[in-house]
Amino acid sequence: MRIVDLSKPIRYNKEDPWFMRVIIKHKPHRKSKWLIRFLGLPFKLFPKDFIGWADDTIKKMGVHSTTHIDAPWHYAPSANGKKSMTVDEIPLEWCYGEGLMIDMSYKEDFDPITVSDIESFLAQEHLNIRPGMIVLIKTGRDKYNGTKNFHKIGTGMSAEATEWLIDKGIKVMGIDAWGWDLPLPYMLKKARETKDSELFWEGHLVGRNKAYCHMEQLVNLGNLPYCGFKIAVFPLKIVGASAAPARVVAIFE
């Protein structure tokens, strides 16, 4: 069995914008010795050559700061008249399945991915989408992950393409760009220019009517074939959260 890691390392990076920055405090082994002494164990009763244990504290990390999966609750508080699922309520059956990668790396920045784009790719590569698959969208923009402009560049999924995948029976999908839609600063700019309220966050907002989850900030999709692998994407069980970091992997059996 071979496993390919599709998750971004979680660490402090000064190049990340402030809303993505992660701060982790690493505590050395020797610090814990004093804690044990404070709790009442004399040094003479410490095990021989005991150095102590290392410990770490996540001081700051948003649930959308690194490779993560968005729950339906992120898009809207309800869908079709029912309360949207938070990340701890996502069925685990959704989080493991046959993987399919769709290569959209030829798309220019700010050019949305359409149904026609996906259908053309599938026809060209003789691939089929089946219900329950986990579909990955490769844009190649993960090479900018960790740089200042990562959230400002790239392509993204249109509302129509997102809904098309859901209607094909896809509950979980993901992308290697900063977000599922076109870049946020671009969407803000175009909405102001055109006065079109339907432009903003169109891919996400499909989830107001059809429950689905998507992953953002995947990496290493370039190391995958188009099919022939399983995807596991189990999020942290954060009660009531809109998303959670996940260790996303491709499994070749």
Amino acid symbol at 200: F
Residue range of the domain that includes 35: 23-60
Phi, then psi, of 252 in degrees rounded to 5: -110, 115
Closest of 186, 37, 212 to residue 112, by C-alpha? 186
Verdict on whether the full-model pTM lies above 0.85: yes
Query: What's the CA angle centered on 130, arms 246 and 108, to 5 degrees?
Result: 65
Q: By the 8 A CB rule, do 43 and 32 touch? A: no
Q: pLDDT per residue over 55-87, tens digit each?
A: 999 999 999 999 999 999 999 999 878 899 999
Regarding whether 244 and 130 lie in a shared domain, the answer is: yes
Regarding whether 221 and 151 lie in a shared domain, the answer is: yes
Tokens of 8: 């971004």
Tokens of 85: 């699922």
Regarding whether 51 and 170 lie in a shared domain, the answer is: no
Regarding whether 104 and 134 lie in a shared domain, the answer is: yes
Closest of 194, 197, 160, 153 to residue 177, by C-alpha? 153
Among residues 11, 41, 60, which one ends one of the domains?
60
Regarding whether 112 and 38 lie in a shared domain, the answer is: no
Regarding whether 212 and 179 lie in a shared domain, the answer is: yes
- Measured between alpha carbons, how far is 223 from 154 in angstroms, rounded to an integer? 19
SS3 category, 175: strand
Tokens of 104: 């959209």
Q: Is residue 31 part of a domain?
A: yes
Q: pLDDT per residue over 23-43, tens digit each?
A: 999 998 887 766 677 667 677
Regarding whether 235 and 166 lie in a shared domain, the answer is: yes
